[in-house]
Amino acid sequence: MPELPEVETVRRGLAPVMEGHRIARAQVNRPDLRWPFPRDMAARLTGRRVEALRRRSKYILADLDSGESLLIHLGMSGRMQVSGDPLGHFAHAHAAPEKHDHVILEMEGGARIIFNDPRRFGAMDLLPTANQEAHKLLASLGPEPLGNAFDELYLVSALRGRGTPIKSALLDQRIVAGLGNIYVCEALYRARISPRRRAGRIAAARVAALVPVIRQVLLDAIDAGGSSLRDHRQANGDLGYFQHSFDVYGREGSACRTEGCAGTVRRITQSARSSFYCPRCQR
């Protein structure tokens, strides 16, 4: 499932053709994805100007001049693809319709945005912009890891006394929003913290040092266009390439990349997810 860097990469790709532009026509080709689409979604989108395009955790939010926001979740296989951009950001001509093109936004000026989702685990909803933090998908989210509220004092306080492994704690969206399996593995490796360690038993100084490490891992991944392991594509159709920089994720049995370390990357299962780490470097 796309994590924060993949969603942010898609948001940045969509911004030039959505922000400040009007949706000339919206087409909805089925009644639902993971959940039913909101009532009259096509009509409520058609003619609306996109005032801003934002990201909250793993969701994209398009604020409309109607006072509503379009919430987009890519799910497991969802893609937002842009074609026909007259500003020259996207060289792709409009493609022939495909079976899983579930929502199509024709923008004024000629750009077309297609939401394609073969597995249909994605979602779209319309919610009041002024009260969006009360939405069921957003209400319990913790601070953004790239925002000011996620700092050393916050993380030390949030993890104090917790008996869960640090890996599980960082995946808890109520503690920090947007982190997923890949980037938690990579951040813990850079911080030299074992994913097995109990969150509440890690020294405060080591927890505090995690904050800039998490931020840097995410920024590095965004700069690389995210990680394309199966379905992720940028809005222009290109693959991300951060997967070529993984230190531990997916590298079970490979030599640790830390200079002077003779360790081997190991994979364990935590909460039904794979954790990758070097047992020699990460304590």
Catalytic entry in 12, 54, 273, 280? 273
Check if 51 is active-site: no
Residue 33 near residue 117 (C-beta atoms within 8 A): yes
Check if 252 is active-site: no
Q: Is 24 helix (H, G, I), strand (E, B) or coil?
A: strand
Cα gap 180→56, rounded to integer Å:
14
Check if 6 is active-site: no
Catalytic entry in 11, 48, 55, 58? 58
Check if 273 is active-site: yes
Structure tokens at 211: 């904050």
Burial class (CB in 10 A: 0-12, 13-18, 19+), 271: exposed
Catalytic entry in 2, 5, 145, 165? 2
Cα gap 8→2, rounded to integer Å:
10
- In sign, the C-alpha dihedral spanning 239, 182, 148, 211 is negative
Residues marked active site are found at: 2-3, 58, 273
